[in-house]
Structure formats: structure tokens, C-alpha cells
Chains A and B, each alone.
Chain A
Amino acid sequence: MGAGHAHKLYRHGHSPVHALPPHCKLAAVLCFVLVVVATPREAVWAFGLYAALLAGVAAVARVPAGFLLRRMLIEVPFVAFAVLMPFVVPGDQVHFLGISLSVPGLWGAWNVLAKGTLGVAASVLLASTTELRALLLGLERLRLPPMLVQIASFMIRYGDVITDELRRMSIARRSRGFEARGVRHWGVLGKSAGALFIRSYERGERVHLAMMSRGYTGTMPVIDQLTASRAQWTAAAALPLTALAVCLLGWTL
């Protein structure tokens, strides 16, 4: 699909992972994440195996490790909480380098960190091998409520249009000598945001009018019917099934 429709997260390629239908990949990632979350945190080796599995998928998808790791930095603000846990959770204390840390806190932090990181890694892999548009089609195929899919697809379509409008407004402001320098100028920025909201709202009305003029009655027609063969489902299921085996081992051992 769409040449030149590449999002920053997407990495163009022709690997077997890229070729899988989006709804298979979505289902696989979701199941993988559920399995990872269901794994007992004491089975540290299991998380190592999960990471190895993802590394394997990345290798098949020919996504370089650097690319993957850089995009995983998005996780950092979310795990800041995990770093606090050893200091604030009450319980047995251990001393490490002269700092007193709580044992349950350490386990809790490890739990959040390991599971979170694996989830983010799986999502980044999905995003870098699946185009945004294809993801939406996949969600639609997986019976996500159509209204949500429509909203997301309008976000993709009009994101650039609205950013452009914002940029023009900013140029117009600066052309009249305005530079946002401090709190005193927040009022102006607030008014710009308001104006942008009104403009976007009015555009929404015009788009709706144009849609009705072409026969829109509340549901989007299905233009691209996604299909997946048994082999494709099997290929996609390889990741969550292997992970499930690891998880079961983790509970029994």
C-alpha cells in the first residue's frame, strides 16, 4: 500500500513479518503481551527467553537492534515509577551500596520493568513492520467498534492538515512581531489554541457535509477486505504459542 505514507515508526521492508496480514500480527502481539503479563515474576529466566524470542522476530523482520532500542526509549517516563518502588514499598530491607532497599519493592520494580519493556518491544516491532493504515484495517477486521476506527483514521488523515494550520498561525503571529517568551504570552497561545479548535470544528462540519453528499449514512463501507490464510495465522501464532510454553514452564518449575 501507500508509497510515501510512511510514519516515523514504520520501517519499510519486505520481510516475512512485514508480509503477514495486520490482523494476524495484532492478535499475535496481544496474546504475547497477555502471556508475558501472566508469567510469575520470580521466573527471571522466562523473561530472558521472551526477550530472545522478540530478538528472533526482529531478526526475521530485519529490524536493526539500534532502531528498536531507540524507539523503546518512549518507555522511560512510564518506568520512572518502577524505579521509585524499592524506596517506598514497605517490607524487608536489604542494603546495597549503603542504600536501604525494600525486597518486595525490588520485586515489584522488576515486575513492572520486565513486563513493560517486553510489551513495548513487541509493540515497537509491530509498528515498525506494519503501516499505520494497515493497522487500522487490521483493527477493523478484528471487530474493533467501527466508530473508533473511523476516529483514528480521521486523525491520520487530518493530523497533517491541522499541524499545517497551526504552523501558518504561528508564522502569522511571528510576522506581527510576536515571540512567546514567558508566562505573559500564554494568553495569546491559549487564544491560538482556541482558534485552532474552532477551525478544526468547522472543518469537521464541512467534511461531514462532503461525506453525506457522497451517501454516508453513519457506517464506512468496507473497501479492502482483509483475508489471512491458515499458514499466515500459523506463522503469526508462532510467537505467542512459544511464549505460552515458556510461561507454563515458569509456573511449573
Chain B
Amino acid sequence: MSTQPRKQPPPSLEVRGLAYAYPDGHQALFGVDLTVARGERVALLGPNGAGKTTLVLHLNGIHTAGAGSVTVAGLPVAKQHLAEIRRRVGIVFQDPDDQLFMPTVREDVAFGPATAGLRGAELEARVVAALTQVGMAEYADRPPHHLSFGQRRRVAVATVLAMEPEILVLDEPSSNLDPASRRELADILRALDVTVLMVTHDLPYAMELCPRAVILSEGVIAADGPTRELLGDAELLGAHRLELPFGFDPSAVPVPRGR
């Protein structure tokens, strides 16, 4: 990625020397350093158990760093401004049934901004805008369990967009989606004007959406670079239990369109 000049706004996400051990003593992160500039789309790749989810839960202060720091758009993640941090970091969890807990889509999307104190027409406008961004505006009054899986995933994205986050964090966004839903979600994500950190195993999807990728392995960032280069390095992938799908050749894929 091009380096950011000095006058740019602070990076959307800055992780410095982050280490964390679970209360049972199992250490998951051993000093993670990661900077994501505003507007970037970065894929966070890594095998199961690499600490990806643990890292994600540090970004909005669910876990508290054992050592090191996390800063979101200049604001350090700490107890006293947790509410603002959680508004700035929008996490879309893997199972939309966990994320959508209100009786109707509209109320679910309204939950975040309403918790932040928005009411009335302003709240309604925010909900409509977020649902329109993911193409689900006409489903506002449906209960989430009457939607298809792909639709629920899109509504889950809307629930987070409604908070107008600084950075969108997606946990395995392509899991359980059929190819059409996958493509629809990719189109939606590409159209968003927001910083994206995408946690995934789905290497082609990472390549399609994210110009830059980092590999998290055994609790540290093992590689950081253009997605195409990382995926072209079979030795690097092999060392971290990552594998391309059968027949997929990164060098044969046209360069993804930039923003």
C-alpha cells in the first residue's frame, strides 16, 4: 500500500504489541502489530486457532489487552470510552442468528444507534439508509428468522453500518453463502466507503475484495503485503496451514479494481 502522508487523518486501526492470555493461562496473542489506514480493505488470514477471533474481540474492548495497545481512529480502546469505541468498530459476527436478536429487521438495525441515543426521525433515516446500502430496505418489518441466510448476513452488515462505524470488521463473511449471495455481498462491501478488516479462510474472496492481506499465525503477524503476492507464495501459505482451492491460480486473476 502507498504510505500515508503526515497530514492524513489518524489510521482507522492501530494495534501495537498486543499480547493476550486467556484466564486459563492459554496465550493466544504474542505481540501483534497492525496498522490499517482509513479507507483500506485488509484481509486477516490465518488457520483455525491462530488467534483471529481473539484479536477481533480486542478491537472493541470485549477482551482487554494483556500488553500493548489498540487505537481506533486516534482513540485508545479503554474502559472510559468503551461506548464510543463500540460505535466506531462494527463487528459482523459469523452467525447472523447471533447478531440479529431483535424481533424485526428494522428494530435490529435501530438497536445500535438507539443505544447511542438516537431517536425519532433521525433514527428512522439511519435505519433506512443502512438497509438501503445492503439492498434490504423492503424487508424492514420482517422478523429475521423469515429471511434466507444470505439476506440475514446482509442485514447483519446493516446493523453495524447503521452505527456509521470507522471500521467494519467481518468474521468469515463468506461462510455458508451460496455463490450468488457471495457475489452480492462482495458487491455491497466494495461499494461501501468504509475501512474494512475481513477475517477469513476464503483466500479467493480475500483476493477479490482486499488489495492487502496479513497472515496471523501462532499469535503473531507472520506476513503483511499485497494479497496477490501473499497468495502467490505457496511456501508461505503452506507454512501457515493456508491453502488455495483446487485449480485456483492467483496470478491468473485480473488485478482487483481499486476504489
Contact = CB atoms under 8 A, between A and B. Distances in A.
B160 interface: yes
B146 interface: yes
B141 interface: yes
A151 interface: no
A216 B115 contact: yes
A156 B108 CA distance: 14
B123 to A, nearest CB: 7
Interface in B79-132: 83, 86-87, 89, 91, 93, 95, 97-104, 107, 110-112, 114-116, 119, 123
Contacts of A4: 142-143, 146
A251 B79 CA distance: 63
A216 to B, nearest CB: 6
B89 to A, nearest CB: 8
Interface in B174-224: none
Contacts of B100: 157
Measured as residues with beta carbon below 8 angstroms from the partner, the interface class of chain A is 20 to 34
A222 B114 contact: yes
A94 B112 CA distance: 67
A223 B98 contact: no
B18 to A, nearest CB: 18
Contacts of A216: 111, 115
A235 B86 CA distance: 45
Contacts of A160: 145
A213 B141 contact: no
Nearest to B156: A210
A137 to B, nearest CB: 10
B143 A213 contact: no
B111 A223 contact: yes
Contact of B98 (A133, A154, A207, A221): A207
A206 B62 contact: no
Contacts of B119: 222
Given A221-B114, A223-B123, A203 B86 contact: no
Given A4-B142, A214-B163, A133 B103 contact: yes
A5 B114 contact: no
Interface in B139-176: 141-146, 159-160, 163
A171 to B, nearest CB: 18
B101 A154 contact: yes
A222 B117 CA distance: 10
A133 B104 contact: yes
A211 B108 CA distance: 10
B227 interface: no
B98 A203 contact: yes
- Most chain B C-beta atoms within 10 Å of own C-beta, residue among A153, A216, A221: A221
A64 interface: no
A172 interface: no
A207 B111 CA distance: 13
Contacts of A153: 102-103
27 contacts: A2-B142, A3-B141, A4-B146, A5-B143, A153-B102, A154-B101, A157-B100, A158-B97, A158-B101, A206-B93, A207-B98, A209-B57, A209-B62, A209-B93, A210-B93, A210-B98, A212-B86, A213-B60, A213-B62, A213-B93, A214-B159, A215-B83, A215-B116, A217-B83, A221-B110, A221-B115, A222-B119
Interface of B: 57, 60, 62, 83, 86-87, 89, 91, 93, 95, 97-104, 107, 110-112, 114-116, 119, 123, 141-146, 159-160, 163
Interface of A: 1-5, 133, 136, 153-154, 156-158, 160-161, 203, 206-207, 209-217, 221-224
Give the 5 A-B CB pairs with smallest separation, nearest first. A221-B114, A215-B115, A206-B98, A214-B112, A160-B145
